[in-house]
Structures are given as C-alpha cells and as structure tokens.
Amino acid sequence: MKKPTELLNDVTAFIWQEADLLDHKAYQSWLDLWTDSGLYIVPSELEAEDYENSLNLALDDAAMRRMRVARLESGESVSAKAAIKTVRMVSRVRVLEGGENLVIARCAQTLNEMRHGKLVTYPADIEYQLRPVADGFRIERKVVRLLHAESFLRTVSFIF
Amino acid sequence: MSDLIDIENVDAQSIGKRAADMVDDEKGRVKKALYSDPAIFEEELDKVFNNTWVFVGHESEVAEAGAYKTAFIGRQPVILVRDRKRNLHVLLNRCRHRGATVCEGRKGKTKSFTCPYHGWGYALDGELRSLPKAEEYDGVIDKSELPLERLRSESYAGMVFATFRDDIEPLADFLGGAKKWIDLFMKQGGGYPVKVLGEHRFNFPGNWKIQLENTTDAYHFPIIHKSFISSLDEATADIFDFLDGEGFVEDLGNGHSVMVMIPELTDLEDNLEEPIPARFQGLADELKAEGHSDEEVRRLVRAVHGTGFNLNLFPNVSCSMAFFRVLRPVSVGETEIQHVALGGEGAPVAFNRKRMRLHEHFQGPMGFGTPDDGEAWERVQKGAMAGTDGWILVNRGQNNLHRTPDGNVAGAVCSETGMRGAYRQYKKMMADGEEI
C-alpha cells in the first residue's frame, strides 16, 4: 500500500500528464490513457448522477472518443481549426478513495482558450476514477462539471 | 407636448420602415445592416418579439401542478407555470412592488412565488396573496389589482406560445399551414407523447436572424458539417446526402417554412415494414429482449432518429428533425440558443437513452455539428462589418419554384425559400402598416 502523499503525487502527476497531452493536442496519446470501458462525461446538469439516462454535453465511450479525436484531427472541422490553443491549469487535487483496484480523485481546472482574439475561460470541477496499472493509471471515468454547464456556453472544439 | 406630432413615434416608425426597406423581396436579398444596426435591433424587440406569438416551452417541462420554468420573450423574463388546477400561465417575472424578479430558478417546482426583496407572495396563477406589514397598505392598494402580469398564452400539440398582444389572431391561425407539420413532428415519440429530456444551451456572437436562416438552410450541410458526416457509417452518411434528392422547402406563410431533407422520413408511422438500419440493430435487439412486440420495436426504431424535416416557426423556434431549437435575441450581436432534446413520455428507457446519445452526437456546444455552425455564424456577423453597405443573398432557387398540393410556394431542398418567407414576415412586421 502506498503512503497517502505518494499516491497523491502519482495521481497528480498522471492528471498533469493528461492535461499536457490535451493542451498540446496529442490526442492519440490521450486515447491510450483510457480503459476500454472508460467513459468521458461532461454533464449538462450539475446535479446529474445517472449520466446514461441524462442528456449530457458529452458522454463518450471508447468509440465516441475515437470519433471525437478523428473529427478534431481531420482538418474538416472549421471550428476545430479556429481553436488554436488552450492552456489549462489543474490544481486542488485530492484523493477521495485510494483502493487497490480503483482510485477516485477530484481536482479543479481552469481552461483558457484564445478564440478569434478573445480569451474564453472555463472553470470546472473534475472527478476521476482511475485504474492502477503497472506504469501508472488508466482512466475508467472522467466527469467534467463545468461551472457554467447549466448556463450558456460558447461552442467547444477541443477536449476538456 | 404637441398632440399633432408624436415625435417619439415618428422616430420609431422610421427605423421600422428603414429595416423593412432593407428586405428586397423581389430580388431575394437583405441588407447586412439588419445584422449589425443596434437601433434596428431595439425596434425588432418591439415590432417582432413583443408583437407576435413567441414559443416559451413545452407542456412536458411543466407536467405537474407547481412545476415552472423560466423563459424570455425577447428581452423580457417570463415564467411558464402550471397551477394547482393544472392550468398553464405565462407570467411576467417581475414583482409589482419594486420590480425584482420573483423566480430565478431555471426550472423546478414551487407552491408560490415570493419576491426576495420585501416578501410579496404570489400564487401560481399570479394572484398577489400576501404582503408583510399589510396595514401600511390599508386604503392604499388593492391586492386584486396587483397580480404578476399575465400574458395571453395558447398551446398547440404541447408547444406553448405566449404574446403581449390580446388583439392578434389565435395561435392556431398564426401557425396555419405549419400545424400539419407539427403533427407529423410529434410522431417521433414512437407511439408515446413527446416529452422534453433535457437541453443544451450555448450562445454565439451574432445576430438572431443568422440562426433563424440556418434552420432552413440545407445548402450548408455537406460543407460545414463534413466532419460530422465523416463520423457516420456509410448508410447513414448516404441518408444525409440529400441535396440532390427529392426534398423541398415550402413557404407555409406567416414566416413559417418547412425544409424536407429526407422525404422518406416525413411520416414516421409509414413504412414500418422496412428493414431495421444496421446502426439501430442494437436498440432493436434490446427492445425485443425487453419483450416489446415486433411492431412496437419497428415503430420505435423508425422514430428514434426523428423526422426528415426542419420546421421553422417565426420568430424563435424550430422543430428541427429530432429537437426544438429555440433562439433568444440578447443584443444586436449576441444570441442565445437552446437545443431541446425530446423523447417519449413512458417510452422504453433504451429508446430515450438512444435519442439522447444521438442528440449529443450532433447538437450542443460539444456536439460534432453545432460548433461548426457556430463558427460560420460568428464569421457572418464579423463579415457584416465589412464595407459600408452590402447585401446578403437569399435568392437561391428563386428560378425554380412550384406550387405544392397545399397551394404554397416551394423550391428545391437547398433553395432559400424558407429564408425569403421569414424575411417577408419580418418586413411586414417591421413596416407595421407603413407603406413599403
């Protein structure tokens, strides 16, 4: 069993690595971070719990994640081409459950996007369910609760 | 003040007339200033949004006694609420005392509306019920004269509209030729009443009419949505390849229009014997395993993708294939949009779940379609600032019109017939009786 500080360190390093891959649009490497059954979820209602029976902004299984990445990388999407750069900051990482087979962690993220010369900011709470594996973790579930999920968002052509 | 010249009114008329003159009906073009002139925008709120039937919600959103949702008519906040006797009301969201909003929730259930400022309490039908320290009002006010202001509201097929005007035609007459298409649209509950499952909300820095045009614009689909089409299986991608098909756009009058993209999905109760598409085989198997009859499975599968048409209802809502698209003008250069997902009330869970997944695939701020629409709209607004004058062309397909069996004018599926119909209504409303 790892010491709590050691686990926190490993989880934080993993989450930072994921954030770095997404900001640098290394989407193929990002896909490798997931388990086959993993779900990437951006709810449209902050209180939602039964995501599969709720309308979300995104609820991606492995196939949808691959399709989402293919769309962003295809060069066919004019909005993806306009999403030049994102810079996200992740902090306030806390391990909620540190099991042998499943680690649950929560953190805060602020993502900044430069869009048509204007800075757009997306603060969010993110919850991870991580499967420990030999070389770190795989993501079983990532739930991104955007602060303004229930109000009016700008359109999004990147991955939170 | 002179009673011969009402200066304020003369001024207002001239802006409306100016906007009306910017719609060149004959040549099928509109001046780009209609997207960018703040004075015209202010006039539109008055002459269009405060002056006709505006969609405020679906009855399923306020299904139970005490259920409410907040909405807007133009810039004015309203509450759609069902009272204890199950009657629907559309109330102005403004306390009659000092004017604070009495309801800030997006939706929910309540027994009454209480103003947070001084505690005036209103019943669900808007009647003023209670006042703290009432004795200071003895002989000063009469409670019965100070309800939340109630708007005229009427429903068609579960869609609730409201208006500030007591003297305009009934909703059914305003919808006119669109009613037949609303009836067809509502068949996508798959044998169950249509209900709202949730909604996506997003905004874009552009004028509301850009969005209004888009819902009756098939021409853009294979271009801007190429990345969405690439994400589909071959058979589904073929269905969306409709520009050379038998579809059409029909002007239904009063600014309404229908764009039929996939004619074989016009009536979802037809052709139930057709083979189940491969992409819905999983859903069919799931429904069958739950014990639904073959006929029921076929009806649900045929309905799951929605209809093959977009019905544009002037000025603020569209029944767009599988969802409601509701627009709200915020300012001349900002518009808020809701994409309201629909399913069947009491329908199998697997059916509603599939409909939500399909909605998420294309719609909303993270869908595979909406962000590219938003990008195009933003650019139209930017482009509207180029040059001192200029035309937006909505004349596509003007050379190839025909009469439909219903007696309406129609053009090819990728014609701009629906936009011209909307602008004709816009021109009439903005002119407001002035000669144009």
Neighbours of B180 (CB within 10 A): 14
Nearest CB neighbour to A56, from listed B224, B360, B374: B360
**Closest approach of A9 to chain B, Cα-based (Å):** 31
- Average pLDDT along chain B: 94
Residue-level pLDDT at B335: 98
- What pLDDT shows up at residue B2? 42
What CA–CA distance (Å, rounded) separates B176 from A134?
Answer: 67
Q: Among A4-8, A93-97, B135-139, B242-246, whose mean pLDDT is lowest?
A: B242-246
Q: B54-160 maps to which CATH number?
A: 2.102.10.10
When CB atoms are compared, the residue of B231, B336, B357 closest to A59 is B357
Cis peptide before B315 (omega within 30 of 0): yes
β-bridge pairing B248-253 and B256-260: antiparallel
Q: Which residue in A45, A78, A144 has the most chain B C-beta atoms within 10 A of its own C-beta, making it the best mutation to test that interface? A: A78
Could you read off the pLDDT of B127-163 as tens digits, one per residue? 999 999 999 999 999 999 999 999 999 999 999 999 9
Q: Best interface-test mutation with B: which of A52, A113, A152 has the largest number of B CBs within 10 A?
A: A152
Q: For residues B124-135, b (16+ Cβ closer than 10 Å) or e, as one string?
A: bbbbbeebeeee
Distance separating alpha carbons of residues A21 and B349, to the nearest angstrom: 37
Q: Is the dihedral of CA B235, B237, B242, B245 positive or negative?
A: negative
The Cα–Cα gap between B292 and B429 comes to 50
d(CA A74, CA A72): 6
- Which chain A residues have a beta carbon less than 8 Å from that of B366? 42, 57-58, 155-156
Judge whether A44 is closer than 8 Å to chain B, CB to CB. yes
**Cβ contact (<8 Å) for B371 and A79?**
yes
**Looking at chain B, which residue has its C-alpha nearest residue A44?**
B200
Most B CBs within 10 A among A66, A68, A155, hence the mutation to make, goes to: A155
pLDDT in tens, B284-314: 999 999 999 999 999 999 999 999 999 999 9
Nearest CA-CA distance, residue B13 and chain A, Å: 34
CATH number for region B178-427: 3.90.380.10
Residue A142 token pair: 């990532």
Question: In the CATH hierarchy, which top-level class contains the domain A4-146?
Answer: alpha beta
Q: Which residue in the set B197, B202, B359 is minimally distant from A154, CB to CB?
A: B202
Nearest to A71 among B199, B227, B349 (CB): B227
Q: Where are the domains of chain B?
A: 54-160, 178-427
CB contact under 8 A, B365 and A153: yes
Q: Is the pLDDT of residue B13 over 60?
A: no
Domain ranges in chain A are 4-146
What is the interface pTM, i.e. ipTM, of the complex? 0.94
Chain A nearest C-alpha distance from B346 (Å): 14
pLDDT tens digit sequence for B36-86: 999 999 999 999 999 999 999 999 999 999 999 999 999 999 999 999 999
pTM of the entire predicted model: 0.94
Q: How far is CA B2 from CA B7, B11, B26, B46, in A?
A: 9, 15, 40, 24
